[in-house]
């Protein structure tokens, strides 16, 4: 716990986190470690919130939280809570985030921003209003904090690829490949919003926007549910979300991106692959080798061309000066530590952290367009040029 007084004599920022399962564990690890590696404002892991009093109490003790609670409304009303980190399921995001922002709390919420476009729009409006009073908000697309992807963004921004022509993004998992895998809240539209589309296509689409900047103007897509019923408490229960999704995105720059996601791709545990092809070069990335970036310089003579492996763990690379000597790799969990670092620094500086709720809304609009296109049997969906503007982040945050 980072409990020392802040340099200006003010009390440490109080952090409350809502939710303690998969993402709660990842975020807790980041809160526990961020001050050990980065210069951040003083804060305390004040309270962990969950619905089961015994379960959340045990998690709070294990994950380094000072106390636990079961009522998030009481927690966000506390004067000693300044930051609310929302790791609860998507159907709870909008209600908690809007209430926290209106209570003057800085808010970090896991992706996707919300379960529905209407909820996302309401959250973005609440975030805009809160910023006028110095209250900050951020959505947790943690893959923006993979050093190799931050480096890829820098290379693209520097013009090393020239004009980017097309992108391939594939995020594949296999945890639902067995048709007898049990029903969970993630397979119910009322609680999850969507399936692979919101869960992992949101990451892939955010990476397209993060790496290239600009905006998506046209979308076509398809979603599909391969296993329509799964065993649950009521016997065989209907699966009301997608198992897989495909989309083609047209960007205002003229670049075309293809996105493919699945939770039934046998043998793929958590495989996010990105290929970015430009007129002067190309970039390859694979989350299963997250410390590496493939880079091709197509301006070299043909006899010298070929993808070269960049091991992204030099102190000059984004975020890595805080960690280990060269050659000592980092892991998936570090992306959340980088996320907390950026959020805390932005709060202290009074600047807007990224990705913003507006960025999350942009992704949500694209996800909704994929669903609309799928329902209309591959109709091309035009996105408003006024509604989907992405504000680029600083690539080297935390370098």
Q: Residue 314 is encoded by which pair of tokens?
A: 């030099």
So what's the pLDDT on residue 385? 58
Distance CA 166, CA 213 (A): 13
Among residues 241, 244, 111, the alpha carbon closest in space to that of 185 is found at 241
So what's the pLDDT on residue 380? 78
- Cis before 112 (ω within 30): yes
| pLDDT, tens digit, 9 for 90 and up, residues 94-116 | 999 999 999 999 999 999 999 99
- Give me the architecture of the 13-142 domain, per CATH: 3-Layer(aba) Sandwich (3.40)
| pLDDT, tens digit, 9 for 90 and up, residues 250-263 | 999 999 999 999 99
So what's the pLDDT on residue 9? 57
13-142 and 147-321+356-382 agree in CATH topology? no
Q: Quick one: the chain helix, strand, coil %, rounded to 5?
A: 35, 25, 40
Strand order in the sheet with 164-172: 308-311, 292-297, 281-286, 271-278, 164-172, 256-262, 244-251, 216-224, 381-382
The residues spanned by each domain of the chain are 13-142, 147-321+356-382
Distance CA 247, CA 374 (A): 9
- Cis before 375 (ω within 30): no
Residues above pLDDT 70, as percent of the chain: 94
* Homologous superfamily, domain 147-321+356-382: Dihydrodipicolinate Reductase; domain 2 (3.30.360.10)
Residues of the chain with pLDDT under 50: 1-7, 386-399
Reduce the DSSP state of residue 70 to 3 states and report it. Answer: coil
Distance CA 347, CA 145 (A): 18
So what's the pLDDT on residue 388? 44
So what's the pLDDT on residue 1? 45
- Please tell me the pTM assigned to this model: 0.92
Distance CA 3, CA 95 (A): 30
So what's the pLDDT on residue 378? 67
So what's the pLDDT on residue 214? 86
Helices and strands per DSSP (H, E), number in the chain: 11, 17
So what's the pLDDT on residue 111? 96
């Amino acid at each position: 716990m980072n409990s020392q007084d802040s340099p200006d004599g003010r009390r440490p920022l109080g952090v409350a986190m809502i939710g303690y399962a998969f993402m709660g564990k990842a975020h807790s690890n980041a809160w526990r470690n961020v001050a050990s590696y980065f210069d951040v404002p003083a804060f305390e892991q004040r309270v962990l919130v969950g619905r089961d009093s015994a379960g959340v109490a045990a998690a709070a003790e294990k994950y380094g939280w000072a106390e636990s609670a079961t009522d998030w409304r009481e927690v966000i009303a506390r004067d000693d809570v300044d930051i609310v980190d929302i790791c609860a399921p998507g159907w709870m995001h909008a209600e908690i985030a809007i209430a926290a922002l209106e209570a003057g709390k800085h808010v970090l919420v896991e992706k996707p921003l919300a379960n529905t476009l209407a909820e996302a729009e309401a959250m973005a409006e609440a975030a805009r209003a809160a910023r006028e009073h110095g209250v900050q908000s951020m959505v947790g697309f943690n893959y923006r904090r993979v050093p190799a992807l931050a480096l890829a963004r820098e290379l693209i921004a520097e013009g090393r690829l020239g004009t980017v022509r097309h992108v391939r993004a594939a995020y594949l998992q296999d945890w639902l490949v067995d048709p007898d895998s049990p029903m969970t809240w993630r397979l119910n539209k009322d609680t999850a919003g969507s399936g692979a589309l919101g869960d992992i296509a949101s990451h892939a689409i955010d990476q397209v926007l993060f790496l290239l900047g600009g905006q998506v103007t046209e979308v076509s897509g398809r979603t599909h549910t391969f296993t329509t019923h799964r065993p649950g408490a009521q016997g065989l229960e209907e699966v009301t979300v997608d198992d897989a999704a495909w989309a083609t995105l047209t960007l205002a720059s003229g670049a075309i991106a293809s996105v493919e996601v699945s939770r039934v791709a046998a043998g793929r545990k958590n495989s996010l692959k990105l290929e970015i092809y430009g007129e002067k070069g190309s970039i390859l990335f694979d989350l299963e080798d997250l410390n590496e970036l493939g880079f091709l310089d197509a301006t070299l003579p043909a006899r010298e061309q070929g993808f070269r492996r960049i091991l992204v763990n030099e102190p000059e690379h984004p975020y890595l000066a805080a960690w280990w000597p060269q050659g000592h790799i980092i892991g998936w969990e570090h992306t959340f530590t980088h996320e907390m670092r950026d959020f805390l620094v932005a709060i202290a500086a009074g600047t807007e952290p990224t990705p913003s709720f507006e960025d999350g809304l942009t992704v949500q609009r694209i996800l909704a367009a994929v669903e609309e296109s799928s329902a209309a049997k591959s109709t091309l969906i035009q996105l408003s040029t006024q509604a989907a503007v992405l504000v680029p982040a600083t690539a080297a945050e935390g370098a």
